Structure 1
Amino acid sequence: MSVELNGTDVDTTTSTGEAERPLLQIKDLKVAFRTQTGDVTAVDGVDITLYRGQSLAIVGESGSGKSTTAHAIINLLPGSGRITGGQILLDGEDLAKASKKDMESIRGRKIGFVPQDPMSNLNPVWSIGFQVEEAIRANGIASGRKEVKQRAIEVLKQAGLQDADRRLKQFPHQFSGGMRQRVLIGMGLAADPQLLIADEPTSALDVTVQRVILDHLESLTRELGTTLLFITHDLGLAAERAEQLVVMYKGKVVESGPSREILQNPQHPYTQRLVAAAPSLASRRIQATGSIHAAEQAIAADAATAAGDELDLIATAEARAAALEAAASAPPAIVVENLTKVFKIRGSGDFKAVDDVSFQIAKGTTTALVGESGSGKSTVAKMLLKLEDSTSGRILVGGQDLASLTGPELFKLRSRMQPVFQDPYGSLNPLRNIGNTIGEPLFTHKVGDRRSRRERVYELLDQVALPRTLIGRYPNELSGGQRQRIAIARALALKPEIVVLDEAVSALDVLVQAQILRLLADLQSELGLTYLFITHDLAVVRVIADNVCVMQKGRIVEAATTDEVFDNPKEQYTQDLLAAIPGANIELGA
């Protein structure tokens, strides 16, 4: 017997001529969550087959059931979730019927797991060494104190942290996002498992760190013979890193097969929509749908309108050019001059996070700050929001110097300038329901009465494509993408003039990402909003930003219009960033 991987027949028969047994076989899997109104089916009859040494990616929008399927495999379903039907066969053993004790011995030893958010999955009060050692002991890899510590160092070195012995005593907040992700990958592979499940392993990482992590993960799994199951919303990553692809929609598998074949020639309408909505280096700036409907057509991806889209793209380009010309003649919304930030680190001297940065953002336009993790872009955003004080230089917002603003003036400024932070779980109060979370800025700034505030909350839920029934739920009951949309809704509550978006769409699947980006474009056109967009996703920059500032080691190394940076990058660093985008050279179908 043979199966086709990326167009090549791979023999799956044993030396005795018998067909090889799949490592993982999911048959008619059903998962439901118990609610006050009855059971809600999250996974409905899923079938997946994965052979040893293969890599498979599950893609789909937020809430499609892809992460629920992954959690069902290791029997760690959140809340009231439970398997209601089907089989999960790991090397012939049905995990759906395994006892709690049996699953504890299978997790870690036979199945490794890399969770989605490294910050919330590493305990902030325990050192990295303690947490890695705890995982090693739990998996029975080593027992003696010295042996456990030595294995912990090996695990971290294997995950790409060369100075692991020194890093053991550090805490999660002292690690970058990429380093935290490596720790989780190391813990997931510590027991040399047969199967590794990686749930959005690089969604929060910049493209260069992402490439290093994925290359390293690929080499580790190849050396150990580990089978890899990716959960991702990044179609470029799926096309580049996974041999097989499963597309899920509303709890069902709608298409499966070789990844590049599916993404270059999608058959199911939903897969076609996913591929069409994915931003790429060939994308162009999304325009407001109120004036031009090209963005709507691009996201709907009706191939029959391709010729009309070409005319619309010309019209949208002309419309945007006119808007930019008008903005250029008006006073800038934001002026940053010679901004510097120096952090004093005990025992290590001074660290210059931002080094003499200058740029301007015209009213009603979008400027993107891009660069690797640690380049200083988020520090610039924090100084703009007055969450950090600058060491030197100045920031003008609407002609006002932020350094001169005091209590009441600063409070008033905050109603005009709102943030959307990178980590939606960390920025939402777990004790406040969604309605109170979104309405909090309205209450704080005394806007409207109770009834009008509630209506505004409903309006915002509609704007970010979330059902109104979520108003009474809490952050832990939502997916990562849903939490990010709640954070965006809260930022838009006061209809601010300036929005600072720090990785605001990094956790979203491509369809929701397209909706949010289009929403931001519409709001910008309607309200004259000004955006500072901080992201590591250069494909997103292409569709949302008018201008780009590329940061490296605290300095701006290249600044120009978006088209200039993408079509003719002058700096080698910018060229490297563009080259590192997953699937950048893979042409997706429509």
Structure 2
Amino acid sequence: MTTDVITTSIDEQPHELDPNKPLVQVKDLEVSFRTQGGDVHAVRGVNFDIYPGETVAIVGESGSGKSTTATALMNLLPGNGRISGGQVLIEDKDISKLGQRQMAAVRGHVIGYVPQDPMSNLNPVWSVGFQVREAIKANGLAKGRKEVEARAIEVLQQAGLSDAERRMKQFPHQFSGGMRQRVLIGIGLGANPKLLIADEPTSALDVTVQKTILDHIENLTRARNTAVLLITHDLGLAAERASKVIVMHQGKIVEAGPSRAILTDPQHPYTRRLLAAAPSIASQRIGATVSEDAKDEGVIELASIAKDRHEEAEAHAGGAVVKVEDLTKVFSIRRGGFKSEDLTAVDNVSFEVHKGTTMALVGESGSGKTTVARMILGLETPTSGEITVGGTRLDKAQGKELFDVRRRMQPVFQDPYASLDPQRSIGAIIGEPLKVHKVGDAKSRTARVEELLDQVSLPGAIAHRYPNELSGGQRQRVAIARALALKPEVVVLDEAVSALDVLVQAQVLQLLADLQTELGLTYLFITHDLAVVRVIADEVAVMEQGKIVEAGATDEVFANPQQAYTQRLLDAIPGSGLDWAV
């Protein structure tokens, strides 16, 4: 993937600011939300400064208060939220005392914003060009139709879209995730702000796209001397991109300081938990150790999971449970009128997954890895090739034989919010496979559900609750419990931890490793996150444009990649560029 050339307009010269004077001063900030049960204090006594041209990262899990702090800086809290104490000074002006008209002048011109989800933050019924033009008009960046149009094209070009003029007429759904995020970056930086707030700007993107997007932000902000506040839950990404890291937990700052000091010598137990649980950190073997006291506090150390997991797999690996030979999938894509063309999504792919081990299929979005998983699960029909599961050819299996194969192989999908029926109780969701396959009676199914909840470390009382009452991590545990209901041999996990915070992700990875050891499970792990692969997988196959370009033992592929594409994926892991990684 090439990095586009970034240009700076004549009217976007670097900001001339005093480098020794804070651009932003947050003093004893308190943020509260009014609820039916009284006020909820989301941010409590937060203090920090941001200097011109400086990149500061706020890290923490969901609910820690980091995004609320960011929105308070722009005075964009929800209707029931308010700054209930302290001050936010932007260029010595207290934003809580500014009127709507004054605050509108601050947003865009002084503070730019790149929100988290590019799909929900771009209106799907308006063209991309229309939305960029509206932002330019709102910020008063140009007057007259031709000037606004020219400025919109320039903004998108600076954000990395080289064919911006043609792209202006397209709609958000016609853009990839990376392209949509570039549009938001263009809008956020369009008014040449002095501070850019980037709230999880790359959490939904592949590592290579993520690196490109962050490089674009860094190049643009460096050229303009723009300060950056980066909100993230990935400590490796924060350490690589920011000079200063602020760690938030339960609405408070528990630790702050230079990135290197935080990473190599964390002082607070919560920071140690984040550090040990970050796959990007564990995969690079950064030289920070987790003390015995920290382990006693419940710290999950992913590096230890990886070591124990690989030793266990070597001791108990068996014959091939899943065999894929010369697998090909061709889709017919409509091109207007009655015309269509063929798209080869999977091209002559072959691999084996051995009993009791974990095989990871990795690659960028569009590489074909999820299509392979769908064919193995029987959700897509191969154009050609063979899939054998437990000695049974899927293309030859019919009726009861196919039904039995599906019983031996179960999926866990990416989104724990979408993969659970919101209208059914947790007990009914977990017990559904037992009912479909007519396993046992009602009493034995209830007992099996209780056993499964215990296996995934959830209390039995959850069986009577509904998905909307659970956290993301709890929902994914429910999805795993459902997959285990029929005691399968193979579990196919499609991006099963990518939507989770690092602490919850670490808990789920630990759970998967424990269940594999206890039940002798075989995993096929589909992911774009090579940091997670280093922790969980024994074998890895790297896919590019529908083909497997490299495969082998995980440690060997990571230590000695043979293909430039694999090396690019490894280089894009957040934290891989740190000069103190060992």
* Interval of TM-score (by shorter of Structure 1 and Structure 2): 0.7 to 0.9
Measure how far apart 1:102 and its partner are: 4.2
CA deviations 1:446-492 (Å, max 9, x no partner) are: 488699499759938973799969956849xx9xxx43652453243
Report which stretch shifted further, 46-55 or 73-82: 73-82
1:153 is aligned to: 153
Measure how far apart 1:50 and its partner are: 0.6
1:247 is aligned to: 247
Report which stretch shifted further, 443-452 or 565-574: 443-452
- What are the equivalent positions in structure 2 for 1:177-188 lying under 5 Å apart? 177-188=177-188
| Identical-residue share of aligned pairs (%) | 59
1:192 is aligned to: 192
In structure 2, relative to structure 1, the CA distance for the partners of 1:193 and 1:334 (3 Å cut) is same
1:293 is aligned to: none
1:489 is aligned to: 478
In structure 2, relative to structure 1, the CA distance for the partners of 1:55 and 1:556 (3 Å cut) is same
Question: Letter of the aligned partner of 1:83 in structure 2?
Answer: I
- What are the equivalent positions in structure 2 for 1:36-435 lying under 5 Å apart? 36-78=36-78, 80-280=80-280, 283=283, 301-302=294-295, 318-324=311-317, 327-328=318-319, 332-347=320-335, 349-403=341-395, 417-423=409-415, 432=422
8 Å contact from structure 1 (residues 116, 199) kept in 2: yes
Question: Letter of the aligned partner of 1:351 in structure 2?
Answer: L
Q: Secondary structure at the match of 2:270?
A: helix
Is 1:459 matched up with 2:464? Answer: no
Structure 2 CA distance for aligned equivalents of residues 467 and 48 of structure 1: 42
Is 1:534 matched up with 2:521? Answer: no
8 Å contact from structure 2 (residues 332, 343) kept in 1: yes
Report which stretch shifted further, 533-542 or 172-181: 172-181
In structure 2, relative to structure 1, the CA distance for the partners of 1:369 and 1:261 (3 Å cut) is same
Q: Secondary structure at the match of 2:326?
A: strand
Find the partner of 2:498 among 484, 506, 525.
506
* TM-score, normalised by the number of residues in structure 1: 0.81
8 Å contact from structure 2 (residues 275, 281) kept in 1: no
Question: Letter of the aligned partner of 1:222 in structure 2?
Answer: R
Structure 1 CA distance for aligned equivalents of residues 303 and 331 of structure 2: 50
Question: Letter of the aligned partner of 1:442 in structure 2?
Answer: G
Measure how far apart 1:278 and its partner are: 2.4
Unaligned residue ranges in structure 2 (runs of 5+): 1-15
Find the partner of 1:577 among 569, 572, 580.
569
CA deviations 1:203-228 (Å, max 9, x no partner) are: 22222222221111101111222210
1:29 is aligned to: 29
Q: Secondary structure at the match of 1:459?
A: helix
Structure 1 CA distance for aligned equivalents of residues 384 and 528 of structure 2: 26
Question: Letter of the aligned partner of 2:514 in structure 1?
Answer: D
8 Å contact from structure 1 (residues 550, 558) kept in 2: yes
Question: Letter of the aligned partner of 2:189 in structure 1?
Answer: L
Q: Secondary structure at the match of 1:188?
A: helix
Structure 1 CA distance for aligned equivalents of residues 163 and 458 of structure 2: 44
Measure how far apart 1:419 and its partner are: 3.8
Question: Letter of the aligned partner of 2:535 in structure 1?
Answer: V
1:292 is aligned to: none
8 Å contact from structure 1 (residues 420, 500) kept in 2: yes
8 Å contact from structure 1 (residues 277, 301) kept in 2: no
Q: Secondary structure at the match of 1:393?
A: strand
CA deviations 1:318-350 (Å, max 9, x no partner) are: 4331112xx23xxx3322222222233333732
Measure how far apart 1:529 and its partner are: 2.8
Structure 2 CA distance for aligned equivalents of residues 311 and 167 of structure 1: 47
CA deviations 1:75-122 (Å, max 9, x no partner) are: 333574433222222222222344445444433333222122223333
In structure 2, relative to structure 1, the CA distance for the partners of 1:254 and 1:193 (3 Å cut) is same
Structure 1 CA distance for aligned equivalents of residues 308 and 261 of structure 2: 34
* TM-score, normalised by the number of residues in structure 2: 0.82
Measure how far apart 1:564 and its partner are: 1.5
Structure 2 CA distance for aligned equivalents of residues 411 and 465 of structure 1: 31
Structure 2 CA distance for aligned equivalents of residues 516 and 587 of structure 1: 30
CA deviations 1:558-589 (Å, max 9, x no partner) are: 11111221122222222222222222243779
Measure how far apart 1:541 and its partner are: 0.7
In structure 2, relative to structure 1, the CA distance for the partners of 1:274 and 1:33 (3 Å cut) is same
In structure 2, relative to structure 1, the CA distance for the partners of 1:364 and 1:28 (3 Å cut) is same
Structure 2 CA distance for aligned equivalents of residues 549 and 311 of structure 1: 23
Number of residue equivalences: 549
Q: Secondary structure at the match of 2:279?
A: coil
Structure 2 CA distance for aligned equivalents of residues 299 and 115 of structure 1: 39
Structure 2 CA distance for aligned equivalents of residues 174 and 466 of structure 1: 45
User: RMSD value over aligned CA atoms?
Assistant: 4.0
Structure 2 CA distance for aligned equivalents of residues 466 and 147 of structure 1: 63
Find the partner of 1:522 among 514, 517, 536.
514
Report which stretch shifted further, 391-400 or 63-72: 391-400
In structure 2, relative to structure 1, the CA distance for the partners of 1:340 and 1:80 (3 Å cut) is farther
Q: Secondary structure at the match of 2:132?
A: helix
Report which stretch shifted further, 207-216 or 576-585: 576-585
Measure how far apart 1:48 and its partner are: 1.7
In structure 2, relative to structure 1, the CA distance for the partners of 1:98 and 1:555 (3 Å cut) is same
Q: Secondary structure at the match of 2:165?
A: helix
8 Å contact from structure 2 (residues 284, 575) kept in 1: no
CA deviations 1:360-418 (Å, max 9, x no partner) are: 22233211111223222222223333443332223333344444567887777666544
In structure 2, relative to structure 1, the CA distance for the partners of 1:426 and 1:53 (3 Å cut) is farther
Structure 1 CA distance for aligned equivalents of residues 35 and 347 of structure 2: 52
In structure 2, relative to structure 1, the CA distance for the partners of 1:360 and 1:317 (3 Å cut) is closer
